[in-house]
Amino acid sequence: MTATFSGVRVLILGGTCELALTLSEHLIRASLLPILTYRNEKGLASIRKYLEPLEGKYDVCHLNFGDRDSLDSLFRHIDGDLDFMVDLAQGNYESFIAAADEERVCRYFTENVSFRAEVLKRAGRVMLKKRRGRLIFISSSAAERPNCGQGFYAAAKLASEALYRNMGLELGERGVTTAILRPGYIDAGRGKNYLNKQGRDVRDMVPIKRAISKKEIAETILFLLSDSAAGINATDILMDGGLTSGK
């Protein structure tokens, strides 16, 4: 099957993570233009280093979640031309709820839920003018089955899922649709670090006896952006090897 796409420009939130960089390679091969966001100069350097062989085939823009000035700058940079958005951004705060720092909790939800709603609003309004757009949120199986210490992470993921689901309900008839992908254990980034710390026993909990690869995730996202997946709207898709399907 040859994939076709109704658009070219793909905004990637959280563009410095391993999955975003792998996805960018796949997007470029499909003749799409990834626009990767970064929080700081270190993140920008990691993007440029990883995608050095593909210089000129991608774009970058600064976005610091929680900073409205950077949000304004991002959408000035986009200048009304946006076809897709893939949301991989997520702050990192793990703590037992009873031991959590109140100020950090407040800041965490402001950045990862409230600010995300602002980004969604801005992206949705750009797409509405074109009467076409696709928004993909990368959630986590932890939204349904968190480990101890992941309460705030799971809550932020669930709240963000609700935002994306409602965007698809509200704007679907006007050409803007959404989908939510819930990966399980991924052999990349934080997931890889967690698996290395826990050992093989964690993978044994997964019916397919392995983690999901970043290549598999990237290819699935590419499919969700394609015209073949246009009927998938306002819903979540599990990609966890069967982890959450049984006891």
Q: Which residues are catalytic?
A: 153
How far does CA 169 lie from the centroid of its chain?
19
DSSP letters for 91-140: ------GGG--HHHHHHHHIIIIIHHHHHHHHHHHHHHHHT-EEEEEE--
Q: How far apart are CA 71 and CA 63, in angstroms?
A: 6
> How many other CB atoms are there within 10 angstroms of residue 20's CB atom?
26
Hey, what are 217's tokens?
Answer: 């995730």
Whose tokens are 């709820």? That residue is 97
Question: For the chain, how big is the Rg over CA atoms in Å?
Answer: 17
Question: How is residue 114 annotated by DSSP?
Answer: I
What is the amino acid identity at position 179?
A
